[in-house]
Chain A
Amino acid sequence: MSRFDGLSYAEISRTVGLSETVVRKHVTKALLECQKALQAQAGKNTQ
């Protein structure tokens, strides 16, 4: 929602009923998971 829809944390917060702080934490987690997935894929490609 943040990246694909371009919604602000405040807008997501109102939509899903979470606080902005929690929304930001989820975006942080998602970002780190995406990074790990990309790095794992890059590792496979280099093997």
Chain B
Amino acid sequence: MQFSDQVNQQAAEWFTLMQSGDVSASDREALQAWLGEHSDHDKAFKQMELLWQDLGDVADTAEGRALRQSVESESIAARLQQLLMAPLINLKNIFSVPTYVMALVVVCIAVGSLMLPTAKEPVTVYYSTQHGEIKTIVLADIVADAGRYFDGKIILQIGRS
């Protein structure tokens, strides 16, 4: 069964939060509230639980070990490139502002990566919106999308922040 990207994203976030050792009573209450909001939420969360179980089963197989070896043999540069190309997550629409002719927000992040000391060129990550759309980008997103260390600058190219 497939759900919307938003529901899957939320389900994955809730699932990984529950996997952490830092779950408060209010987190649990909020999860229960989210699960009760729509039947898809409960199903999507259960799907994440099943996926997690399946991944655990794969870990003990020859394929799982081969996968792990292939990941470990990748260069750090390749890993960082994959990280930067990964889909942007956790960008939340707040509200639309119709007065903007064009609300294209681009955030450029130059990362002086201590993880990749051979990289001389700064790494740039772009975020953009559709016409009339506003997105909220939190620092944790930028750090996750940019790489190990956030050590750069943010440039608003078009629009307002």
Contacts and interface: CB of A to CB of B under 8 A. Distances in A.
Interface of A: 2-4, 8-10, 16-22, 24-29, 31-35, 38-39
B140 A25 contact: yes
Q: Summarize A's interface: helix, strand, loop or mixed.
A: helix
A25 B56 contact: no
B16 A27 contact: yes
A35 B59 contact: no
15 contacts: A2-B19, A3-B56, A4-B64, A16-B148, A18-B148, A22-B140, A24-B16, A24-B19, A27-B19, A28-B9, A28-B15, A28-B16, A32-B8, A35-B12, A38-B51
Interface residues of B, number: 31
B21 A31 contact: no
B12 A28 contact: yes
A33 B48 CA distance: 12
Given A8-B21, A31-B48, A26 B64 contact: no
A27 B55 CA distance: 12
A28 B21 CA distance: 15
Contacts, number: 70
B21 A9 contact: yes
Contacts of B12: 28, 31-32, 35
Nearest to B56: A3
Nearest to B68: A4
The listed residue with most B CB atoms (<10 A of its CB), out of A4, A16, A34, is A4
Contacts of B52: 3, 31
B15 A20 contact: no
A4 to B, nearest CB: 4
B56 A22 contact: no
Contacts of A2: 19
Interface in B106-161: 115, 140-141, 143-144, 148
Nearest to B21: A8
